[in-house]
């Protein structure tokens, strides 16, 4: 799915079988316990993926608590990231990388493109969008997804809020640059109706 050196990844379709959800329900942090079942199923799916991805680097997860900012607390020597949407969950982990983030998004429809363009895109990114509406939908979804993944990759280090306009995406090179000068590499997988992005350094 994600041929990125040093990264172990796992993607799953949601919802997972009921018996799996029951087994992993204890993994949910307290703030998720009163969530609606669909949201709980998505969060459980991401944690199931995390366990499977960690096994790919010979790490056995037994819990995945959150810190005060809501970031997963990974075991020493492991970095990772989780994401989920309506129908998919994904997790990535690494024992060699410094920064790592993942995001999965359903392909934006035209109304979402119009709603989010100004919020998400820098002037240079706007200029790079295709005149073809269908291609532009994929491009905007990809830029959004890469920026979401970049936030997850950088926040544990910077510990400050990162606005969309503080990040710039080069879709040709798949570089994501933060205004501080931090540059991350991206990898994008386009599946039927979805974009999955991994950002790393």
Q: What percent of the chain has pLDDT over 70?
A: 99
Tens digit of each residue's pLDDT (9 = 90 or more) over 3-12: 688 899 999 9
Does pLDDT of 112 surpass 80? yes
Tens digit of each residue's pLDDT (9 = 90 or more) over 36-49: 999 999 999 999 99
Tens digit of each residue's pLDDT (9 = 90 or more) over 43-71: 999 999 999 999 999 999 999 999 999 99
> Are residues 12 and 82 located together in one domain of the fold?
yes
End of a domain among 44, 70, 97? 97
End of a domain among 60, 78, 97? 97
Quick check: is 1 in a domain?
A: no
Determine if the pTM surpasses 0.75: yes
> Are residues 154 and 169 located together in one domain of the fold?
yes
Residue 191 maps to which CATH number?
3.90.470.20
> Are residues 168 and 125 located together in one domain of the fold?
yes
What is the structure's pLDDT at 92?
Answer: 98
Does pLDDT of 73 surpass 90? yes
Q: Provide DSSP, 115-153.
A: HHHHHH--HHHHHHS-SSHHHHHHHHHHHHHHHHHHHHH
Domain residues for 186?
A: 103-200
């Amino acid at each position: 799915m994600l041929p990125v050196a040093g990264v172990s990844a796992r993607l799953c379709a949601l919802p997972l079988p009921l018996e799996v959800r029951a087994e992993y329900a204890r993994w949910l942090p307290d703030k998720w316990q009163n969530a609606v079942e669909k949201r709980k199923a998505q969060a459980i799916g991401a944690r199931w993926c995390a366990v499977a991805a960690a096994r790919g680097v010979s790490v056995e997860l037994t819990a995945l608590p959150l810190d005060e900012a809501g970031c997963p607390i990974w075991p020493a020597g492991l970095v990772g990231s989780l994401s989920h949407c309506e129908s998919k969950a994904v997790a990535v982990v690494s024992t060699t990388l410094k920064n790592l983030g993942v995001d999965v998004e359903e392909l934006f429809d035209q109304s979402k493109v119009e709603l989010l363009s100004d919020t998400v895109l820098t002037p240079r990114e706007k200029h790079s969008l295709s005149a073809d509406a269908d291609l532009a939908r994929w491009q905007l979804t990809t830029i959004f997804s890469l920026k979401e993944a970049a936030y997850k990759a950088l926040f544990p280090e910077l510990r400050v809020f990162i606005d969309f306009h503080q990040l710039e995406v080069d879709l040709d090179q798949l570089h994501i640059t933060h205004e501080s000068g931090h540059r991350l590499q991206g990898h994008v997988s386009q599946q039927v109706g979805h974009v999955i992005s991994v950002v790393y350094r």
